[in-house]
């Protein structure tokens, strides 16, 4: 049962091959067993899940037919879950239990999905390796000595290890796509504003976006249909109808024009990954796709611009964690200043502190114009690059990451090397564009990802291309040898 996709689970539940309660019990047993090794879960909601599964089975028996009825999944621990701890992987929120559900959690529950738990993550979504969690590092199921990527590393590892068929993730600079590539699964970051951020703890508000992670593009389409939509509680939510993504999966790719940015196929890219991408390009060519070289001339500025904008917004958003209203509070503060200083010093980890300091500096008097304002201007140039490219092509293709998953601890003392892991994913966040990562091969036994970037609200096309690619390849079906049993 644990190897079944969401599409397959829906068929098996409908046919009565197994019940939702049987499926959830099986997966919960796997989670408890495998979590000792990969640490993908922070919270396991066994009692609540089994109760919800039993209710889903009763609903089905009574004729209920919600789109995800009885389908189990897990949520990244950045989404607020009513009466279930939401820690954001931080000591600061180690004991925070929200009184409400995030909109994403609400929508998936309304579609019948069952939550099995909350997945591990880099603290406050800040990281590219999932080594920054207060609850310990997550191991990559393909090689436990390597990272699963971040910040949604727990979500990616949980799917790759077949602990759950799907998870939610968030993507601020690549945090859905990069771990999806490292773990050999599919993940999509929708257009900014397509999925509500209400109840999703903020890191960088102009960049954060929630999205689904699963083994296949088809499963991501089914999930996104439930997750997407306007939410009046989120001021950045876009009031636009949600496409029936799953209905568009089988469209022909004949005549599709795909751009290959010369900047993405540079010396920054490992040669074996370039070879895997070339093979994927050849497969897509056989499906009727034509390829055109495009010039995204300002893409080299994306990483430096991002690491001004994101820390600046992080500095502002995380100022609310001061030990007064909620979150970690130091013992025996002597005055208000001591309360602020020690609560924040004790509650935040090293990477979060680093980004707060950078962001506060960039926003300070005398430096705002020199750093933050200039970074926003560069961001606009990057968006213009994409706008011009989409005048000639339908989609842009490139690598998701410059290398396969690196070893744990390899980049821990080199923040710049860590940040450069997002060199190919960050531009889509700065422009607010939808982007998807799908498995396209292996390098020395480690999965690598193919990235597709679309125009605004063109998620259906990205999912269509990925699905058609997955019909003629089996990279997305591969799983670690010790996971198959």
Task: Kindly list the catalytic residues.
Answer: 76, 151, 175
Phi-psi category of 337—alpha, beta or left, where left has phi over 0 and alpha has psi -120 to 50? alpha
Q: For strand 72-76 and strand 114-119, is the pairing parallel, antiparallel, or unpaired?
A: parallel
Please report where in the chains the tokens 């390009």 appear, as a residue: 281
Tallying the residues shown for the chain, one arrives at 485
Measured between alpha carbons, how far is 1 from 15 in angstroms, rounded to an integer?
A: 14
Cβ of 364: how many Cβ atoms within 10 Å? 12
Q: Name the residue among 236, 23, 233 with its Cα closest to residue 107.
A: 233
Measured between alpha carbons, how far is 187 from 437 in angstroms, rounded to an integer?
A: 5
Distance (Å) of CA 416 to CA 127, 348, 387, 421: 11, 20, 29, 9
């Amino acid at each position: 049962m644990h190897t079944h996709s969401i599409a397959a689970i829906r068929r098996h539940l409908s046919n009565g091959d197994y019940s939702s309660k049987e499926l959830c019990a099986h997966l919960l047993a796997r989670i408890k067993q495998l979590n000792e090794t990969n640490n993908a879960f922070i919270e396991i909601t066994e009692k609540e899940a089994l109760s919800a599964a039993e209710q889903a089975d009763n609903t089905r028996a009574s004729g209920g037919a919600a789109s995800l009825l009885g389908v189990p999944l897990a949520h990244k621990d950045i989404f607020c879950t009513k009466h279930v701890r939401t820690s954001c992987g931080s000591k600061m929120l180690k004991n925070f239990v929200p009184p409400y559900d995030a909109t994403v959690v609400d929508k998936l529950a309304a579609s019948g999905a069952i939550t099995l738990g909350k997945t591990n993550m880099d603290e406050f979504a800040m990281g590219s390796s999932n080594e920054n969690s207060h609850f310990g590092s997550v191991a990559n199921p393909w090689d436990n000595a390597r990272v699963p990527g971040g910040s949604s590393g727990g979500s990616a590892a949980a799917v790759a290890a077949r602990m759950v068929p799907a998870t939610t993730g968030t993507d601020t600079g690549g945090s859905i796509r990069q771990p999806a590539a490292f773990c050999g699964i599919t993940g999509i970051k929708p257009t900014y504003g397509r999925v509500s951020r209400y109840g999703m703890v903020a890191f960088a508000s102009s960049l954060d976006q929630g999205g689904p992670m699963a083994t296949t593009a088809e499963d991501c389409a089914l999930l996104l249909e439930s997750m997407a939509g306007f939410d009046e509680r989120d001021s950045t939510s876009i009031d636009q109808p949600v496409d029936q993504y799953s209905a568009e999966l089988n469209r022909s790719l004949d005549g599709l024009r795909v751009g290959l940015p010369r900047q993405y196929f540079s010396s920054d890219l490992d040669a074996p990954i370039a070879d895997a991408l070339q093979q994927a390009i050849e497969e897509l060519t056989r499906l009727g796709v034509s390829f055109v070289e495009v010039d995204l001339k300002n893409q080299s500025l994306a990483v430096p611009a991002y690491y001004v904008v994101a820390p600046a917004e992080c500095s502002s958003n995380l100022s609310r964690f001061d030990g007064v209203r909620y979150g970690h509070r130091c013992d025996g503060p002597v005055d208000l200043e001591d309360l602020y200083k020690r609560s924040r010093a004790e509650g935040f980890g090293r990477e979060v502190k680093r980004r707060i300091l950078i962001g506060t500096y960039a926003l300070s008097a005398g430096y705002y114009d020199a750093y933050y304002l200039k970074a926003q201007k560069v961001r606009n140039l990057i968006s213009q690059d994409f706008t011009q490219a989409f005048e000639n092509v339908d989609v842009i293709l490139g690598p998701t990451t410059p290398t396969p998953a690196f070893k744990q601890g390899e980049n821990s003392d080199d923040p710049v090397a860590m940040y450069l892991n997002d060199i190919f994913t960050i531009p889509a966040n700065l422009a607010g564009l939808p982007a998807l990562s799908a498995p396209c091969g292996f390098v020395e036994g480690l999965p690598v990802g193919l990235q597709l970037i679309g125009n605004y609200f063109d998620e259906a096309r990205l999912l269509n291309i990925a699905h058609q690619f997955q019909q003629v390849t089996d990279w997305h079906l591969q799983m670690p040898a010790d996971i198959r049993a």
